[in-house]
């Protein structure tokens, strides 16, 4: 990494670093189509972009990175694409765990995991166990077969017959114990939530870029954090 990158990071660390950043990793298919490649090639490059983002987040001192990897609606895609994504998840889980351990990054999977093959479920649980530690530099939450509406309905069922407040209700969500995201990034120029962290993003700052997910890098991540530092968060009060 160049000296300018170090200076940029140093400057960012003088300001408020978001504790929790959420990312809608969108535009893999678009990235591939523009290059005349199959959509699957975009997904493969997207996995590399996630690796870069996690390293940057850890370096900046972000504590939680929550990434949208597969939505409850993504099953609607052609079976070949879904099958490729499952293969890619399995491959990443088999290969990347030692690197996560080395970087002191913990990984967790949030969503309805029961829909995945027993092998994938086992790989996910094993990755969680192997990377879990008392004080990780960063925790990466991978939201997979996740949907905000399904999550809220599940929480309602879990909290049935209990008296709940906003704070106690949050304990029934997949994100129990995590702070709400401070910053949410979405790539590929789409300006919507697509059922991501509906409850949790009530007061989150949003940041969008035209760049597709496979082109996301540390420089863009730092730009998002720099823009975040200029925002004035009011949460209903006065500045
Ligand atoms: C995001 O990229 C990855 C997943 C949803 C798994 P897309 O596959 O949605 O790419 P676009 O939006 O079609 O370009
Ligand atoms: C959201 O992107 C899901 C992920 C990034 C995993 P989509 O591509 O599925 O969302 P829409 O269909 O454009 O709203
Ligand atoms: Mg998309």
For the record, the structure tokens of 92 come out as: 């990443």
Q: What is the pLDDT of residue 1?
A: 72
Domain count, the chain: 1
Q: Is the pTM of this model over 0.85?
A: yes
N-to-C CA span, the chain: 38
Q: Is 116 in the pocket of ligand 1 (CB under 6 A)?
A: no
Active site residues: 26, 74
pLDDT band at 239 (very low <50, low <70, confident <90, very high): confident
Q: Is residue 4 part of a domain?
A: no
Q: What is the pLDDT of residue 191?
A: 98
Q: Quick one: which H or E segment has residue 32?
A: helix 28-34
Range of the domain at 131: 16-147+182-199+215-229
pLDDT above 70 coverage of the chain, percent: 100
For residue 204, the CA-to-ligand 2 centroid distance in Å is: 19
Q: Is residue 209 part of a domain?
A: no
- Nearest-CA residue for ligand 1 atom 6 is 70
Task: Give residue-wise pLDDT tens across range 62-96.
Answer: 999 999 999 999 999 999 999 999 999 999 999 99
Q: Is residue 11 part of a domain?
A: no
Is the Cβ–Cβ distance between 188 and 25 less than 8 Å? Answer: no
Q: Is residue 27 part of a domain?
A: yes
Q: What's the CATH code of the domain at 24?
A: 3.40.1180.10
Q: Is 26 in the pocket of ligand 1 (CB under 6 A)?
A: yes
Task: Indicate if the pLDDT at residue 176 is higher than 90.
Answer: yes
- Least distant ligand from the CA of 42: 1
Q: Is residue 238 part of a domain?
A: no
Between the alpha carbon of residue 121 and those of residues 108, 125, 133, the distances in Å are 12, 6, 20
């Amino acid at each position: 990494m160049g000296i300018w990158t170090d200076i940029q990071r140093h400057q960012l660390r003088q300001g408020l670093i978001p504790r929790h950043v959420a990312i809608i990793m969108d535009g893999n298919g678009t990235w591939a189509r523009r290059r005349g490649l199959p959509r699957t090639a975009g997904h493969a490059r997207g996995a590399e972009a996630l690796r870069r983002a996690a390293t940057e987040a850890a370096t900046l001192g972000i504590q939680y990175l929550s990434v949208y990897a597969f939505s409850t609606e993504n099953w609607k895609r052609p079976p070949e694409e879904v099958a490729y994504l499952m293969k890619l998840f399995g491959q990443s889980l088999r290969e990347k765990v030692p690197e996560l351990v080395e970087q002191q990054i913990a990984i967790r999977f949030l969503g309805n995991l029961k829909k995945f093959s027993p092998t994938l479920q086992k790989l996910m649980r094993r990755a969680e166990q192997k990377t879990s530690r008392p004080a990780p530099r960063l925790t990466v939450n991978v939201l997979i077969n996740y949907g905000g509406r399904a999550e809220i309905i599940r929480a309602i069922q879990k909290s049935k017959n209990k008296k709940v407040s906003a704070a106690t209700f949050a304990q029934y969500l997949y994100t129990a114990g995590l702070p709400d995201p401070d910053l949410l990034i979405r790539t590929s120029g789409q300006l919507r939530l697509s059922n991501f962290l509906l409850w949790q993003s009530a007061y989150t700052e949003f940041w969008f870029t035209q760049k597709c997910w496979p082109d996301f890098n540390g420089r863009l991540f730092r730009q998002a954090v720099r823009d975040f530092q200029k925002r004035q968060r009011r949460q209903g009060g006065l500045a």
